[in-house]
Structure 1
């Protein structure tokens, strides 16, 4: 019996919604308005606003002009600085009729002179993020509602949550409405096995609808989703099950053989051709027999909802817990780092068993109500080309190994794709490979930097309003045709990134040392500790809790660009795959 027969087969991607790009423009305008307010009575220069919000000169100017037309900002004719506009007075008076005036927000304290030299570029100072949303904060956060149910209640409820492509080229669709329905039923199945608030559930599944349904079911119960990469050895699986104290396992018949024979945890197995043993609970049969769970569990902002382990190549793999408050950084990267627009067809090729795939290929699209694209089997260049063409992918992110595979299989002909942006995370790529990719897909290839413990926090961004230009403003707000050679880019808003010398002191512009995050002045930083390994946690904070150390060496130039210079220690990168 075809257990996926209720999912409609499709041959083309869903139509783009109307009003594409409007939400993103609105959020950028709001961020600019807040940045103008932060400047106080002195007003803000255009270059300052560009740096504060992370926009190009053209984009910032266009949005400021729109705000000025409505009286929300005004520009001083002599100083050319921007101030809050007169119409905000009337809006504030109206708001005061309902809301009590809030106490003034204290200015963000600047680092002491001893640790923040005067010559440090302004670009390295923390920039405010527009994505510190109240729904990601507090003590009662309905995560499953944020990632699924609210999308069902909107006009986009029928939108595909997943497009799943089989190796044979057959595409099935799972809508947000069906995802909500199936995950509520599977949550009842897991609850019957004793899974509850804070429990870790190991998910050893290939990319497919069962993976999304399982993740949402875990979050309905307040649990912790723990993906296991499908190529892990049996010993790697056993280590993670024991170290995490997983309450249950969800897998399929083929991968079940990697689960230890002496396993005493309940196991759910997706039905298929492989025999899965008399003790396993059948996934689809149990789901269809269960009543949907009515309640949605609540998380606190610091509660973990995912646990990602480091690579199998690590001597002692480390568990990195992803807290709910990390959703702010995930949304920011999706919207700003990847420039994901309302009309984009987005494909994150990373496996969801790795941090980048889990954060930005699974959680990110669910958070924004966007479609996830999963493709069966190991990466194949011809299949990748077919997927790009079939779905009309416009926004693609890939692993360095996948770009190298493209290069190795290059037939010497160019390809006609709908792509407008291509991002790579995992390791710095050599200039010749970047140039080849630019010629092949005819869009910029943006190399970005992050770790499992941080998410992406340094980006080379593409300027959507500059025709084919990279966004890389200098001190005067001008634009460069290319990012500086070897540059990782600049910090994302909400992070203050510094270079530390061996004694833990911040280096000035041009100084080399270890790349670090100033935790005290990085509101989007979320990492607290490794699961069950305080010694390795202490290494990350060996100069005190003020600084998180990446383990990578870098230097910063006079314009605030950060240049990678290799590993300083046992840095753990945000790999997309091996």
Structure 2
């Protein structure tokens, strides 16, 4: 029988939520929990690695632990100590996990940075963090070198798989294999408190400079209820995890890599570009049972392979999705085509995994963000910090304590060198997310968009998610972003930027007809004021490195066009 867990309609939510209690040790370390305690098993696989050139490898927890010790010894010799920042500019590969574990054992702060960052993005983060060492592979090396002259605190670069010319004597680049070969695989770790900083992740934000969210060791514990629940009670025997989410971001690090290692299970790391073909190929090859896939990725997979089980042998038993609303079109495809009810999740870097679904334990409502995960007291609040009524829109917020009055370990420590921004994140004991939602009578949250994504058109308050979900159901639409276009009479009109499927015919006459069909498609399903009065076809949408549509870029484009008209 297809694994569509909604059919059972089991609802254990109240029991799970009310009985849960946090148990956080006073002293703890992510590397001990995610690596060292599994290292005695010589055969236990930590990472299956593959790249787009066909290279493969499998790394055991013992190998990961010993290499982390070697790197920790070398970093200590380079002057890295407790509380110092180490930049990790690496993609999904075993060395990324080694670098993280080495930093944690040192009591240092791991600062993951995307290989997609250009010199300016790297320069800001390296300057602001005072990182003294950066670990990088060939993909990010040139941009890092371009940024380095303006980063006086950055004393050392360690290169992973960098070519011979890059490692020449005058490059100042230390060679990863040589550094590790010269070091002992024994290391006495620093003793760290649960509240000590472990990770520094810079949030992209929508306005102003990126802010560095400082994450404590305890956050790995705070993540667990959401991870276990959204992955249908992970781990189970034979579980294998994979996600295309970049390990340099919260979604890849805290929702995939670290929790998989925490439970001593294997995770697949793939170094290459995402495509539906690659995704299904990896799922089949490694017998992946659990995954985190952004809605954007699921949309691409749905359009490319409407009936994937006819072409691929899959073992999927759980899908978590986050970053955008999944929408019922993708939700229904996951159930019918993959046999898995997707568990939507909501969180952010500052407090991750706070709301979501677990379809085997409580019913999932298509399109809903879910309910607060056990251990997290979540509300939808107004500007004064008061919970709004059911059905009203407000801002999603998390309380410092759970329903029993115990501190919630999920919280970030604060923004690096920015106490004012840290203070403004809170209203009393409520930590604001900047995301809007409503809550229904059953306690399910319904995403309404970022506060800065909402807009008014002809006096109506518009959220893009519902319109985008409606449009993507049309067979010609691969992806879509809805933004306001300034209009003198109405204030704004609804505009849709649409990426068409590859097989959709294009010509001036057919484009005009398609626009009319798409408008009618929405007009017949949503409120009259929600249909897109203007549609523009583009080759690709602007996306963040974490797979979120950058509506802000398109909104600014329309503002510039309007000003120039």
Same fold (TM over 0.5): yes
Q: Determine if the alignment matches structure 1 residue 177 to structure 2 residue 62.
A: yes
**2:468 matched residue in structure 1:** none
Aligned partner of 1:554 among 425, 432, 437: 437
Hey, what's the Cα distance between the residues in 2 that align with 1:174 and 1:551? Answer: 39
**2:20 matched residue in structure 1:** 129
Q: Determine if the alignment matches structure 1 residue 53 to structure 2 residue 13.
A: no
Q: Determine if the alignment matches structure 1 residue 494 to structure 2 residue 375.
A: yes
Hey, what's the Cα distance between the residues in 2 that align with 1:453 and 1:142? Answer: 19
Hey, what's the Cα distance between the residues in 2 that align with 1:164 and 1:314? Answer: 36
Aligned partner of 1:341 among 210, 220, 235: 235
Hey, what's the Cα distance between the residues in 1 that align with 2:206 and 2:60? Answer: 37
Distance 1:520 1:329, change over 3 A: closer
State the secondary structure of the residue aligned to 2:299: helix
Alignment of 1:264-279 (within 5 A): 264=152, 265-273=155-163, 275-276=165-166, 277=168, 278=170, 279=172
Alignment of 1:20-169 (within 5 A): 50-54=13-17, 127-130=18-21, 132-134=22-24, 137-138=25-26, 140-153=27-40, 156-169=41-54
What is the CA-CA distance between 1:261 and the residue it aligns to? 4.2
Hey, what's the Cα distance between the residues in 2 that align with 1:129 and 1:316? Answer: 38
Hey, what's the Cα distance between the residues in 2 that align with 1:164 and 1:231? Answer: 20
**1:303 matched residue in structure 2:** 196
Is 2:395–2:434's contact at 8 Å kept on the other side of the alignment?
A: yes
Q: 1:429-481: CA deviations, max 9, x gaps?
A: 221122223333222122211111111111121217xxxxxx23xxxxxxxxx
Hey, what's the Cα distance between the residues in 2 that align with 1:490 and 1:396? Answer: 20
Hey, what's the Cα distance between the residues in 2 that align with 1:177 and 1:316? Answer: 40
Distance 1:314 1:185, change over 3 A: farther
Q: 1:35-73: CA deviations, max 9, x gaps?
A: xxxxxxxxxxx98x741315xxxxxxxxxxxxxxxxxxx
Gaps (5+ residues) in structure 1?
A: 1-45, 55-126, 465-470, 473-482
Number of positions where the alignment pairs a residue of Structure 1 with one of Structure 2? 435
Moved more, 257-266 or 521-530: 521-530
Q: Determine if the alignment matches structure 1 residue 362 to structure 2 residue 257.
A: yes
Is 2:73–2:187's contact at 8 Å kept on the other side of the alignment?
A: no
**1:200 matched residue in structure 2:** 85
**1:248 matched residue in structure 2:** 133
Which runs of structure 1 show a deviation greater than 6 angstroms over 4 or more consecutive aligned residues?
Answer: none
Relative contact order higher in (CA < 8 Å, ≥ 6 apart): 1
Is 1:426–1:574's contact at 8 Å kept on the other side of the alignment?
A: no
Q: 1:229-272: CA deviations, max 9, x gaps?
A: 11111100010001111121111234211122414421111133
Alignment of 1:212-291 (within 5 A): 212-259=97-144, 260-262=147-149, 263-264=151-152, 265-273=155-163, 275-276=165-166, 277=168, 278=170, 279-291=172-184
Hey, what's the Cα distance between the residues in 1 that align with 2:356 and 2:122? Answer: 33
What is the CA-CA distance between 1:157 and the residue it aligns to? 4.3
What is the CA-CA distance between 1:333 and the residue it aligns to? 2.4
What is the CA-CA distance between 1:412 and the residue it aligns to? 5.7
Is 1:205–1:252's contact at 8 Å kept on the other side of the alignment?
A: yes
Gaps (5+ residues) in structure 2?
A: 1-9, 455-542, 549-565
Structure with bigger strand share is: 2
Hey, what's the Cα distance between the residues in 2 that align with 1:574 and 1:302? Answer: 30
Distance 1:157 1:128, change over 3 A: farther
Aligned partner of 1:434 among 326, 331, 352: 331
What is the CA-CA distance between 1:273 and the residue it aligns to? 2.7
Hey, what's the Cα distance between the residues in 2 that align with 1:202 and 1:322? Answer: 15
Q: 1:155-211: CA deviations, max 9, x gaps?
A: x44211111012133421110111111111111111111011011100111211111
Hey, what's the Cα distance between the residues in 2 that align with 1:220 and 1:528? Answer: 19
Q: Determine if the alignment matches structure 1 residue 484 to structure 2 residue 484.
A: no
What is the CA-CA distance between 1:218 and the residue it aligns to? 1.1
What is the CA-CA distance between 1:221 and the residue it aligns to? 0.8
Hey, what's the Cα distance between the residues in 2 that align with 1:210 and 1:346? Answer: 18
**2:348 matched residue in structure 1:** 451
Is 1:196–1:222's contact at 8 Å kept on the other side of the alignment?
A: yes
Hey, what's the Cα distance between the residues in 2 that align with 1:365 and 1:527? Answer: 21
Is 1:52–1:493's contact at 8 Å kept on the other side of the alignment?
A: no
Distance 1:355 1:420, change over 3 A: same
Q: 1:531-566: CA deviations, max 9, x gaps?
A: 12233323321x32x111111222211111111222
Q: Determine if the alignment matches structure 1 residue 517 to structure 2 residue 402.
A: no
Is 2:350–2:412's contact at 8 Å kept on the other side of the alignment?
A: yes
Aligned partner of 2:292 among 368, 385, 397: 397
Hey, what's the Cα distance between the residues in 2 that align with 1:385 and 1:335? Answer: 23
CA RMSD of aligned residues (A): 2.5
Aligned partner of 1:372 among 267, 270, 286: 267
Distance 1:558 1:412, change over 3 A: closer
What is the CA-CA distance between 1:514 and the residue it aligns to? 1.7
Is 1:144–1:296's contact at 8 Å kept on the other side of the alignment?
A: no
